[in-house]
Structure 1
Amino acid sequence: MRLRPSGLQSYLGKMRGSTQGSPPRVRLPEVFWSWAGAFLGIAAVAWLNQRFFADADLALTIGSLGASAVLVFGAVRSPLAQPRNLIGGHILSALVGVTCWQWLGGDPWLAQSVAVATAIALMHLTRTLHPPGGATALIAIIGSDQVHAMGYLFVLIPATLGPLVLLAVALLVNNLPAARRYPEFWL
């Protein structure tokens, strides 16, 4: 009598010796353009941050922009990387995050969970789902006293301006090679 392997054993067996189910290998030109776009996009945000915002106790650079760069430059055709999602996802999530901090900041665990869950729900309802938006909502709560002092200014700087800078760079870089086209759709 032969025993059937469990689902996990079967899955692990397939993964060990097979590339079936793996994502396709990305061609080197695609890797180059993803690298160049991410470099230029984050460099633009970081340079603007250092030049104009560092002395003003404002921050243009937030961690969620790194995740946005992965989508906008590394997955240019993804619906999650399109301008509506990039901009709308960050703005909605920042609004939710700041509001949750102001209303629920006395219970940070509650503010964090309500902010991320609500940001996801609103992004779904508005068709602006952008995974880094969840991080933007979270940053509004777990950020420093400087972030909290910004209040709703956080929605403009960095949550709107940062993604707009990435979008400008994406429009330039992602449309240079013939094999890439960005955006797939605006609205």
Structure 2
Amino acid sequence: MKKVNRGYRKARYVVYKQTILNPIDHLWTFVGGFLGIGCIAFIQSELHHFNALEKVFLIGSFGASAVLVYGATNSPLAQPRNLILGHTVSAFVGVTVMKTVGQFDVFWLTCATAVSLAIIAMQILKALHPPGGATALIAVIGTTKVKELGFFYVLSPVFTGALILLVIALLINNIPKDRHYPYNPKVSPYMGRRKKYWLNIQRTLGIR
């Protein structure tokens, strides 16, 4: 019981730290979210020419990711590995399920298989990212145009979209002195911006 209470208090503290921010943090959260989703929406409109329903599906998945990478930068689920690998492997699983289980034309079975296998894949790769479940689901419930993309869906719009969110997160989240991304205990508010960027890039690449 003591362990449960300790875990509960720790969870409350994490939530508190992630939601009680300085007003300037809200500004940077807005800028990051605006640029990230704006770029993805523009590319989906101009490159893929998706219709309104297809845009709703895909933007919904990345919108959830934006909440994490711009609003909860220290969350384990928001880190670069989770963002990129979580979306990519989930997209691959979703397309694979659509091309195999989807041939039986049993809607509930296809949806359930895609999401559950995507979760397992993310767990195995240690890259759990909740929006990845939506990415896998979109692959099997999307419109004909989305399904016709086949495994290209993994590359674009999924991988490219996640990469856009990551690049903007690395740029925007590291501008304020007391804000950084990805989470890096070696970064100090008193550290120079150039050194801070370099350390966080190394962290993103898995060097440190």
Give the TM bin, normalised by the shorter chain.
0.7 to 0.9
RMSD across aligned positions (CA): 2.1
Q: Distance in 2 between matches of 1:65 and 1:36?
A: 16
Whether contact under 8 Å (2:58, 2:138) holds in the other structure is no
Q: Distance in 2 between matches of 1:63 and 1:31?
A: 21
User: Deviation digits for residues 90-147 of structure 1, max 9, x if unmatched?
Assistant: 0110011111111111112111111111111110111110000000000001110111
Match for residue 83 of structure 1?
A: 80
Indicate whether 1:64 and 2:56 are aligned: no
In the TM superposition, residue 31 of structure 1 has moved relative to its aligned partner by: 1.5
Aligned-partner residue type, residue 69 of structure 1: A
Q: Distance in 2 between matches of 1:100 and 1:109?
A: 12
In the TM superposition, residue 48 of structure 1 has moved relative to its aligned partner by: 2.1
Runs of 4+ in 1 over 4 A off after TM superposition: 58-61
User: Deviation digits for residues 139-164 of structure 1, max 9, x if unmatched?
Assistant: 00111011111111110111100000
- Asked which structure has the greater CA Rg, the reply is 1
Q: Distance in 2 between matches of 1:87 and 1:37?
A: 17
Aligned-partner residue type, residue 138 of structure 2: I
From 26, 29, 32, give the equivalent of 1:31.
Answer: 26
In the TM superposition, residue 89 of structure 1 has moved relative to its aligned partner by: 0.3
Match for residue 18 of structure 1?
A: none
Indicate whether 1:94 and 2:91 are aligned: yes
Structure 2 unaligned runs (5+)? 1-11, 184-202
Match for residue 148 of structure 1?
A: 147
Whether contact under 8 Å (1:62, 1:158) holds in the other structure is no
Q: Distance in 1 between matches of 2:180 and 2:150?
A: 37
Q: Distance in 1 between matches of 2:59 and 2:110?
A: 19
Match for residue 45 of structure 1?
A: 40
Match for residue 116 of structure 1?
A: 115
How many residues align? The count is 166
Match for residue 183 of structure 1?
A: 182
Seq. identity, %: 47
Whether contact under 8 Å (1:97, 1:115) holds in the other structure is yes
Whether contact under 8 Å (1:61, 1:162) holds in the other structure is no
Aligned-partner residue type, residue 166 of structure 1: L
More relative contact order in 1 or in 2 (CA 8 Å, sep 6+)?
Answer: 1
In the TM superposition, residue 79 of structure 1 has moved relative to its aligned partner by: 1.2
Q: Distance in 1 between matches of 2:89 and 2:100?
A: 16
Q: TM-score, normalised by structure 2?
A: 0.74
Aligned-partner residue type, residue 89 of structure 2: L
Q: TM-score, normalised by structure 1?
A: 0.82
